[in-house]
Amino acid sequence: MSIEIKNISKGFGNFSALKDVSLNVPTGELVALLGPSGCGKTTLLRIIAGLETPDNGSIHFHGEDATDRAVRERQVGFVFQHYALFRHMTVFENVAFGLRVRPKHTRPSEAEIKRRVHELLNLVQLDWLADRYPPQLSGGQRQRIALARALAVEPKVLLLDEPFGALDAKVRKDLRRWLRRLHDELHITSVFVTHDQEEALEVADTIVVMNQGRIEQIGSPQQVYDHPATPFVYQFLGNVNAFEGHVDQGVAKIAGLQVPLNYQHEARSGSISAFVRPYDIQVRKAYDDNGALAAKLTYAHSIGPIVRLELKREDNHEFLDAELSKADFDNLNIKEGDSVYLKLKNVRVFFGNNFVI
């Protein structure tokens, strides 16, 4: 089932959580709502589920207006960040709940309920926990039970609120791959909320980047990562170094360096914000006639094959982050306190000085 969100606004007191948000989720897609905390992503998810009412705008399920439809009639599955399992029921009863509360004429028989619940528990590979109570399970197990419970009512849409947010890093990684595989099997329209860009990039078909109640960009992981529409998206999807500068006829001047722009070749002039990823900063020991940025190495630490450098610019004493391979770092043969020269690659330029971080 497809979801169309049209011009939704929602405020809580003076705080405006969503500002005129529109979004289409095509049938069968796995969409990530990505943004920092407080950007309105969870509110949007809860509005889709019917757990919050929008102040303005409408929600359409499969073309039908569902804005005023009761939660229980929306046929959505919702997985809560903290699982919200019924603590006084066994795992089996938790999963069976959605079937048991159906009106008599649509309620499956006891045998059918039993079969369905065990089928779902097998799907999440936790059938052996059927008689346990939620507090006896680990975080990852609870999350999978919560998912099985949501799937039991055969929802047309699956909504997941920070599904892996409360889990440790290792379990999180396993579970998100597992979720991706599950989605590929079931092909149920799914929307999940996350503040973790890596999670969104790895799992989703489409990423919706949100900030301060608005949608910044909608696109495939590739698109949003390689072609960020706004400085915010660029900064949110990974570490960046920010510079101010200006452009004169297609040539940018950033930190005293001439940087040719290899895209956006408009003959525009004006002040810009420029961004460079840490791995696009080249570190040299010797000055280069073509111009380089002088800096001092203040700190270096290696994490496995990568070395992260903290550099202090000589001109304005701002800090920059750079990343290079262990081998390159060893070849450079530099230590903390040494002077180095920097070159910038793949500089991303946005007109106007809209620093967002």
For other proteins, the binding residues (CB under 8 A) are 49-51, 71-72, 74, 76-78, 80, 82, 84-88, 97-98, 101-102, 132-133, 135-136, 138, 149-150, 152-153
| Residue nearer to other proteins on the CB measure, 157 or 272 | 157
| Residue whose CB is less far from other proteins, 54 or 98 | 98
Closest alpha carbon to 49 in 193, 172, 221, 203: 193
Which residues lie closer than 8 Å to 56 by C-beta, 6 or more apart? 7, 8, 9, 20
Q: Looking at beta carbons only, is 133 or 225 nearer to other proteins?
A: 133
What is the distance, to the nearest Å, from the Cα of residue 299 to the centroid of all Cα atoms in its chain?
30
Smallest distance, Å, CB 46 to other proteins? 9
H or E stretch at 348:
strand 348-351
* Residues 294, 341 contacting (CB under 8 angstroms): yes
Q: 23 or 152: whose CB is closer to other proteins?
A: 152
Least Cβ distance, residue 65 to other proteins (angstroms)? 20
Of 160, 153, 149, 122, the C-alpha closest to 41 is: 160
- Token code pair at residue 113: 């309920």
| Residues whose CB is less than 8 angstroms from the CB of residue 144 and which lie 6 or more positions away in sequence, other chains included | 124, 125, 126, 175
Phi, then psi, of 53 in degrees rounded to 5: -105, 130
Using the minimum distance from each CB to other proteins, give the nearer residue, 136 or 222: 136
Query: What's the min distance (Å) between Cβ of 148 and other proteins?
Result: 12
Nearest to 346 by CA among 297, 293, 280: 280
Query: Least CB distance from residue 219 to other proteins, whole Å?
Result: 29
Q: Which residue's CB is nearer to other proteins, number 149 or number 313?
A: 149
**Contact call for residues 112 and 150 (beta carbons, < 8 A):** no
Output the smallest distance, CB 161 to other proteins, in A: 10
What b-and-e string marks burial along 57-74, b requiring 16 or more CB atoms within 10 Å of the CB? bebebeeeebeeeeeeeb
Residues found in the chain? 357
Q: How far is the CB of 66 from other proteins (least distance, A)?
A: 14
Measured from the CB atom, the residue of 148 and 283 that comes closer to other proteins is 148
Minimum CB separation from other proteins for residue 98, in Å? 4
